[in-house]
Amino acid sequence: MLAQAQEICDRIGILADGVLVREGRLQELIAIENQTELVIADASDDLVHEIESFISRSNAKLLERRKSTTTLERCSWNRPEEMTKAQLASDELTKPK
């Protein structure tokens, strides 16, 4: 049920035993406080290594490096005309090269 709320709501309230325990903008509620996520398109390996080196020099920690993913729903679309412009743009960012 919470996953569905994430898909359609921009603000949310969370009740526990009839008491409002958290309320706010969805992105603020689900954000991990001390982490920043970067998504970079068309980055060369050299650029990625340079970013990793900079992170290391600044005493920050690189917790994870992974390829972006899409959803099975997007993979199942057969015709681009069925997709919105936003979906097409999102797929351009996530499709393998």
Q: What angle do CA 76, 5, 16 make, to 5 degrees?
A: 145
Under the banding of pLDDT at 50, 70 and 90, the label for residue 95 is: low
Indicate whether this model's pTM tops 0.75: no
pLDDT for 39 beyond 80: yes
Q: What is the pLDDT of residues 82-91, one digit of tens each?
A: 556 656 666 5
With cut-offs at 50, 70 and 90, classify the pLDDT of residue 22: confident
DSSP one-letter code for 65 = -
pLDDT-wise least confident of 43-47, 68-72, 80-84 = 80-84
